[in-house]
């Protein structure tokens, strides 16, 4: 296989001679109808029925206890961490190979990320490396708090991210969190539609965050959701994301410093229509992934497939190239011909704001940073939904 063969294959797959984006939204159903309904009713903003319907759709689909819709995935993460009690000076374990939003949310709370390596099986946080780092660097004190030996700071949570939709080994993290008195929070921004041992990602953590940004598997324009494992946490999440307003007749009363993070009704309307096609999109994505897999079979490129414990949504299809030279050649060849492939994000500890963060051995992340390439992953129009 040479680079041109891949370019031809992608053009044939999408039946297109134009620019082929990495991932674009697909609107096939009731999007216009529901959005114009919010315009007709004037309920485009903080009042209207679509937000509740959208939250119920998330709950039905993921089987999470409660979902709270918010303005984007980053605020979903911020809110999840806030409601989990993460505060100034705390440490949160996460991966260096992630989108910057994961770590921005930690930093915005005044907390600090601790970077642990990813697993080559999932591309997400590695449970073995996490355990090893904790054993070397942490202890649980007599109050049941997990402390960092060197700095005596509290380690409060583990925040794994399901990279490109591939689930991390969640049972392992549930156990690590139990053993080390930590809270599990999932960054499931990319993994709506992905299952871990038959159960939806985002339902293992005390809180999880989903994103409905325009590049995700379904979109609300901008949007996100916090998935909550317990009703009491969901009440707190709803309250804090809606300015902490309390019932007081006609008066505006609030009982704590709240956020205005509520998803507007017009965005939720779009989301309700998108949800009606999510099952189809997931199937189309499997179909596309298996085409890529067949194409790369026997080549020097390693098409990344889901871990055997998981059923992934294949949000972004991924290959691992033999080395950085071949990766960069392929990156250039495809983009020169308007096929938008992308390298993985720069590792977090290579960014100026996280360069001094505490970290473990990151050799798998470092290796992947130079060799990984994402391929166009929009569901192919006309691919059967069956």
Ligand X SMILES: *Cc1c(COP(=O)(O)O)cnc(C)c1O
CA distance 286 to 298: 20
Residue 224 contacts residue 75 (beta carbons within 8 Å): yes
Please work out the total of residues on this chain that contact ligand X, with binding judged by CB under 6 A.
14
Min separation Cβ 15 and ligand X, Å: 28
DSSP string, 116-154: EPBPTTTSSB-HHHHHHHHHHHEEE-TTS-EEETTT-PB
Asked if residue 81 binds ligand X (CB under 6 A), the reply is no
Asked if residue 203 binds ligand X (CB under 6 A), the reply is no
* Site of tokens 């300015």: 243
**What residue number has its CB nearest to ligand X?**
73
Length of the chain equals 386
Q: Give me 201's structure tokens.
A: 């990602």
The residue (of 224 and 376) whose beta carbon lies closer to ligand X is 224
Q: Candidates 11-19, 96-104, 118-126, 362-370 — which segment interacts with ligand X by CB under 6 A?
A: 96-104
Min separation Cβ 189 and ligand X, Å: 3
The residue (of 319 and 348) whose beta carbon lies closer to ligand X is 348
Asked if residue 261 binds ligand X (CB under 6 A), the reply is no
Binding-site member from 26, 62, 72, 377 for ligand X (CB under 6 A): 72
The residue (of 154 and 162) whose beta carbon lies closer to ligand X is 162
Min separation Cβ 166 and ligand X, Å: 12
Order of all β-strands in the sheet with 310-311: 199-200, 195-196, 310-311
Min separation Cβ 61 and ligand X, Å: 18
CA distance 286 to 284: 5
The residue (of 23 and 359) whose beta carbon lies closer to ligand X is 23
* Site of tokens 């505060």: 87
The residue (of 10 and 71) whose beta carbon lies closer to ligand X is 71
In the three-class reduction of DSSP (H, G, I as helix; E, B as strand; rest coil), residue 313 is classed as coil
Residue 276: Cβ-neighbour burial (10 angstroms; 0-12, 13-18, 19+): middle
Asked if residue 99 binds ligand X (CB under 6 A), the reply is yes
Asked if residue 101 binds ligand X (CB under 6 A), the reply is yes
Q: Give me 124's structure tokens.
A: 């997400």
CA distance 185 to 324: 33
Q: Candidates 69-77, 83-91, 320-328, 360-368 — which segment interacts with ligand X by CB under 6 A?
A: 69-77
The residue (of 148 and 241) whose beta carbon lies closer to ligand X is 241
Angle, CA 82 vertex, CA 80 and CA 83 arms, to 5°: 65
**Within positions 136 to 165, which residues make up the interface with ligand X, using CB under 6 A?**
161
Q: Candidates 20-28, 53-61, 97-105, 200-208 — which segment interacts with ligand X by CB under 6 A?
A: 97-105
Residue 285 contacts residue 272 (beta carbons within 8 Å): no
CA distance 350 to 166: 24
Asked if residue 190 binds ligand X (CB under 6 A), the reply is yes
Site track for ligand X across 215-244, x = CB under 6 A: ---------x--------------------
Min separation Cβ 344 and ligand X, Å: 11
CA distance 293 to 319: 9
DSSP string, 334-385: HHHTTB--EEPPPPGGGSGGGTTSEE---HHHHHHHHHEEEE--SPPTT---
Asked if residue 267 binds ligand X (CB under 6 A), the reply is no
The CA distances from residue 343 to 36, 262, 276, 318, 370, in Å, are 38, 33, 31, 9, 8
Binding-site member from 81, 189, 195, 266 for ligand X (CB under 6 A): 189
Site track for ligand X across 18-57, x = CB under 6 A: ----------------------------------------
Binding-site member from 73, 193, 264, 376 for ligand X (CB under 6 A): 73
User: Which of 84, 328, 327 shows the shortest CA–CA distance to 187?
Assistant: 84
Residues found near ligand X in the complex (CB under 6 A): 72-74, 98-99, 101-102, 161, 187, 189-190, 211, 213, 224
């Amino acid at each position: 296989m040479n680079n041109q063969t891949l370019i031809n294959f992608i053009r044939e797959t999408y039946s297109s001679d134009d620019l082929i984006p990495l991932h674009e939204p697909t609107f096939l159903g009731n999007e216009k109808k529901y959005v114009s309904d919010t315009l007709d009713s004037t309920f485009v903003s903080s009042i209207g029925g679509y937000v509740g319907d959208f939250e119920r759709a998330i709950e039905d689909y993921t089987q999470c206890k409660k979902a709270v819709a918010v303005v984007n995935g980053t605020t979903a993460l911020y809110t999840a961490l806030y409601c989990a009690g993460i505060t100034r000076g705390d440490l949160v374990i996460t991966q260096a190979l992630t989108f910057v939003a994961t770590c921005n949310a930690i930093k915005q709370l005044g907390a600090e990320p601790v970077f642990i390596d990813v697993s080559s099986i999932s591309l997400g946080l590695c449970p073995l490396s996490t355990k090893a780092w904790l054993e070397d660097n942490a202890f649980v004190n007599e109050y049941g708090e997990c402390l960092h030996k060197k700095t005596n700071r509290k380690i409060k949570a583990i925040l794994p991210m399901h990279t490109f939709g591939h689930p991390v080994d969640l049972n392992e993290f549930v156990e690590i969190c139990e053993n080390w008195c930590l809270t599990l929070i999932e960054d499931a921004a990319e993994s709506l539609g992905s299952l871990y041992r038959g159960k939806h990602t985002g339902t293992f953590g005390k809180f999880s965050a989903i994103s409905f940004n325009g590049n995700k598997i379904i979109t609300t324009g901008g949007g996100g959701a916090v998935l909550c494992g317990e009703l009491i946490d969901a009440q707190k999440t709803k309250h804090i994301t809606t300015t902490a307003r309390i019932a007081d007749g006609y008066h505006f009363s609030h009982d704590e410093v709240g956020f205005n993070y509520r998803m507007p009704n017009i965005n939720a309307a779009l989301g309700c229509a998108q949800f009606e096609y999510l099952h189809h999109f997931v199937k189309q994505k499997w179909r596309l992934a298996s085409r890529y897999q067949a194409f790369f079979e026997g080549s020097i490129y390693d098409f990344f497939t889901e871990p055997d414990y998981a059923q992934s949504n294949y949000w972004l299809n991924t290959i691992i190239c033999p080395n950085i030279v071949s990766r960069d050649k392929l990156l250039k060849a495809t983009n020169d011909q308007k096929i938008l492939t992308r390298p993985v994000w720069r590792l977090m500890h290579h960014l100026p704001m996280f360069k001094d963060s505490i970290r473990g051995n990151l050799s798998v992340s470092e290796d992947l940073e130079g060799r990984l390439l994402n391929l166009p992953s929009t569901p192919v129009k006309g691919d059967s939904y069956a």
